Amino acid sequence: MPGNMYVSRLNAWAEDCLWEMPGANKKIRTPTWIEICSAVMGRDAVNIARSDRSGDKNATKLMRGMQLRLLGCVVDGAPLPLDMVEQAFARAVRPLSFTDSKGAWNGFAWAECVAVACALIRKESIQSGRGAVSSELDKTCTDRDYLFGRLLAVSHKIEFDAAESGKFPTNALRLMQSFVQSPRETWLHLYCKLLPYLKQLGQSGRGNRAAWYLTLLGEIERSFAPEERADSRPLSYMFLAGFSAQLSELYAKAEQRKPSPPFEPYSPPSGRDELFGCLLAVADICEWDAMAEEHNGIRTSQRDGRTNAMLLTNAYVIKPSFTWMHIHDKLIPYLEKSGVSTAAYIQRIISRIESSFAAEERLKDARLGSGFLNGYLSMRHAMTAKGGLKQDAWAAQPASSLATHQPLRYAGAAAPRKPAAPRCGLPAHRSYHWRRQQPGAFGLCPYLLSAGSDRRTGGVPSASNCLADRRRCRYLS
């Protein structure tokens, strides 16, 4: 073999397998053969093979055969065997299997296995013609598996920051194998487990940490194509690449992180789960913003990670229609604190979401699916971004069509009578008295959707007017 060909093949192997390896001095390099054998076979098998002087043990024979195959890849330019990639990936997505001699979880061994598996995935992606996968985060990548990997990495970092301990695997790592097999269902289950940690981050006094993580999750959710987000098939190798790249970005310094890509303005979704998610996001943002204060140019909120919308999320997933009424009630004082213009804006958004429901879907109190999280996180991200909402899509509908809208109600509840004059200007200012008279009823006030206003404010909805006439209002949103 010519010397220049030998050197070029060595260089090709080194470049194709580059990945950021864990350690005190993290750097991008090619994993050693021992590290590759450990990722594929396991550390215990490698230790047995290295200590076998006779060379007769099965682990020794297996490791010898694997190194011969690697030699063919490096020197002869042979393709990397796919079974190596599959075995390394299968071990990397089972973090709980990495333990030390005392049975305690070995986080470094697992992190090393993830990095080596990603290096092999990068090599396999290049030789198959799909292009190189980088250890640096690609925020423009819209691959479904890559995005689910990013979601899991953020979930892991949220719990890691809140617990401030790396001695035990997080819920994200405990559910990693299930996440790969059923990403949509496991993601909803995992998010519900994250809520106590988001609350803990909000109480820690370290700025808007919970809000920052929720915004990042919303950014990832908005990167999904709708048809791919609804796909329930298992995740591929790209999941692990996205997980590793996102985790590396989260541990990097703020000035080293890449800026977020621009997004198209968010339009109202059409699915039931997504619409319920949008309702929860509006309540969450309204309460957060009402309690926000500005210090040294930074806006922080006392309700970060602890809004009523977040505290009632678990109940909301199980019984969305019933729980939404309770969240709506708790929103009243925050709307009063927000002021007339902000309350009118929230009114318009809630009204637009409610009018997007099909009657039979709004009446259902069935458990929400994973699409709820996509609607919640996407809507939350859009409401906190400048120009995040598509204004014409979220504009109020014509009064003529809204005046004929029939309020939704549970079966058996009497229809509310129509008031003689518009009295209700704000969505949350709905009479408790009417609700006690009509248990379980809910719907949209036609005056709220069309002409609810106060003449003294020039047609702008007035909180004082609604509060003064609270007993006389017969509708609630």
Model confidence pLDDT, tens digit, residues 15-46? 999 999 998 778 899 999 999 999 999 999 99
Report the pLDDT averaged over residues 457-471: 37
| Percent of the chain residues past pLDDT 70, beyond the cut | 81
Residue 121 pLDDT grade (very low, low, confident, very high; cuts 50, 70, 90): very high
Residue 297 pLDDT grade (very low, low, confident, very high; cuts 50, 70, 90): confident
Dist. CA 406–CA 359, nearest whole Å: 9
Contact 236, 121 (CB under 8 A): no
Residue 381 pLDDT grade (very low, low, confident, very high; cuts 50, 70, 90): very high
**In sequence order, what are the residues at sequence separation of 6 or more whose Cβ sits closer than 8 angstroms to the Cβ of residue 454?**
425, 460, 461, 462, 464, 465
Report the pLDDT averaged over residues 269-290: 94
pLDDT at res. 55: 84
Of 283, 291, 272, the C-alpha closest to 312 is: 283
Specify the length of the chain in residues. 477
Tell me the per-residue pLDDT of 84-107, one tens digit each, with 9 for 90 and over: 999 999 999 999 999 988 889 999
Say yes or no to pLDDT of 225 above 80. Answer: yes
Residue 1 pLDDT grade (very low, low, confident, very high; cuts 50, 70, 90): low
Contact 308, 389 (CB under 8 A): no
Residue 330 pLDDT grade (very low, low, confident, very high; cuts 50, 70, 90): very high
Say yes or no to pLDDT of 295 above 70. Answer: yes
Among 18-27, 441-450, 457-466, the range with the most confident prediction by mean pLDDT is: 18-27
Number of C-beta neighbours around residue 471 at 10 A: 9
Report the pLDDT averaged over residues 270-294: 94
Find the helix packing angle between 320-338 and 272-290, rounded to 10°: 30
Q: What is the dihedral of CA 252, 255, 258, 259, to 10 degrees?
A: 140
Tell me the per-residue pLDDT of 335-378, one tens digit each, with 9 for 90 and over: 989 888 899 999 899 999 999 998 888 888 899 998 999 999 99
Report the pLDDT averaged over residues 130-143: 93
**Which of 123-137, 308-322, 418-432 shows the lowest per-residue confidence on average (mean pLDDT)?**
418-432
In the block, tokens 């929103």 appear at 331
Residue 166 pLDDT grade (very low, low, confident, very high; cuts 50, 70, 90): low
pLDDT at res. 257: 87
pLDDT at res. 113: 96
Say yes or no to pLDDT of 80 above 60. Answer: yes
